[in-house]
């Protein structure tokens, strides 16, 4: 597996600056991951501050525990951030002055052969952020109906003209169930015209894998639930910084801020994005956007 130290946290200073300006005493990293943002935040927090980090990936949790777990300010929690209301009560850690959410998948997860997140590996079709989840990507391909597959690829992958693709999925699984990433890649290659352009193939694979990953992990529902529940857990004047990586997440976040404008207000008037040079250096994160909102009442 790729060394977690090589994972580059996205929009590191940009996503945390508007939070750290508050000199927060109670900081929540709702998606701790491999503690890339956490290292930076902890270097800026005061010695009497409290830092809470949540993650559900055991590999990420073990790594973060080894790196920051001995810091007396740090509490690391094994859970999904959609359960923030329950977590806050259990750990008696509310209210929060500042909160960070990174919706992305780490390079470590993408490069792990046994996770199936990337179409460039040959591992099993898993894609679960937590091993506690019962449904994986192979299960979806092997059991979902035509209509359900059509919905997730259209809605979560924003794929078009997928009828032939889904037909080929149904045909393939009758002969032999989907098990590995190459099983799915073979069907993708058979189902679409790429006009001899590898970029078209990569774009389609990205969309298909995104759709499956979102369905496996209920990513949009999880984000929606968290946003709804975090507002009452913020102090008045407390802020939440959210990094998104595709248009579905960003639209959900924009709509949420707009629909709750009586309680929260955007802090950054324009969305924060990577510069051209940053995107060239970290191509996997080139679509990253950051929005920060503040509780005003």
Model confidence pLDDT, tens digit, residues 67-109 = 999 999 999 999 999 999 999 999 999 899 999 999 988 878 8
The length of the chain is 297
Residues 94 and 135 in one domain: no
User: What does pTM read for this prediction?
Assistant: 0.92
The H-or-E segment that residue 259 falls in is helix 247-259
pLDDT averaged over every residue in the chain: 93
Out of 185, 217, 249, a domain closes at 217
- Is 253 inside any structural domain? yes
29 and 95 in one domain?
yes
Residues 133 and 62 in one domain: no
- How many domains does the structure of the chain reveal? 2
Residue whose structure tokens are 């005493």: 25
| Residue 40 pLDDT > 50 | yes
pLDDT category of residue 114 using cuts at 50, 70 and 90: confident
Asked if residues 57 and 130 have their Cβ atoms less than 8 Å apart, the reply is yes
Is the per-residue pLDDT at 213 higher than 80?
yes
Distance in angstroms (rounded) separating the CA atoms of residues 131 and 174? 27
Identify the band that residue 7 occupies on the pLDDT scale cut at 50, 70 and 90.
low
Range of the domain at 178: 109-217
Are both 94 and 236 inside the same structural domain?
yes
Do 121 and 73 sit in the same domain of this protein?
Answer: no
Whose tokens are 């169930």? That residue is 177
In a domain, 212, yes or no: yes
Last residue of a domain, one of 165, 191, 217: 217
**Tally of CB atoms within 10 A around 92:** 6
Q: Which two tokens stand for residue 100?
A: 């960070």
Percent of the chain with pLDDT over 90: 81
CATH number, position 190: 1.10.150.170
């Amino acid at each position: 597996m790729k060394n977690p130290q090589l994972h580059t946290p996205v929009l590191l200073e940009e996503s945390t600056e508007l939070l750290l300006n508050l000199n927060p005493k109670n900081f929540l990293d709702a998606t701790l991951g491999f503690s890339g943002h956490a290292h930076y935040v902890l270097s800026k927090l005061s010695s009497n501050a409290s830092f809470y980090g949540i993650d559900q990936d055991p590999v990420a949790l073990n790594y973060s525990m080894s790196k920051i777990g001995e810091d007396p300010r740090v509490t690391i929690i094994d859970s999904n951030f959609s359960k923030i209301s329950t977590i806050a009560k259990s750990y008696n850690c509310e209210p929060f002055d500042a909160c960070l959410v990174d919706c992305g998948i780490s390079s470590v997860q993408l490069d792990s052969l046994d996770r199936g997140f990337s179409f460039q590996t040959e591992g099993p079709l898993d894609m679960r952020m937590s091993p506690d989840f019962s449904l994986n990507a192979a299960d979806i391909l092997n059991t979902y109906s035509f209509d359900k597959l059509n919905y997730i690829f259209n809605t979560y992958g924003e794929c078009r003209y997928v009828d032939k693709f889904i037909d080929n999925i149904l045909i393939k699984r009758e002969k032999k169930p989907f098990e590995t990433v190459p099983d799915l890649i073979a069907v993708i290659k058979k189902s679409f015209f790429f006009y001899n352009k590898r970029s078209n193939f990569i774009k389609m694979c990205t969309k298909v894998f995104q759709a499956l990953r979102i369905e496996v992990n209920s990513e949009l529902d999880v984000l929606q639930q968290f946003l709804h529940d975090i507002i009452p857990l913020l102090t008045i004047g407390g802020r939440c910084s959210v990094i998104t990586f595709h248009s579905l997440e960003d639209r959900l976040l924009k709509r949420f801020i707009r629909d709750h404008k009586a309680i929260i207000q955007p802090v950054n008037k324009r969305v924060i994005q990577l510069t051209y040079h940053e995107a060239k250096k970290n191509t996997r994160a080139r679509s990253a956007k950051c929005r920060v909102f503040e509780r005003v009442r």
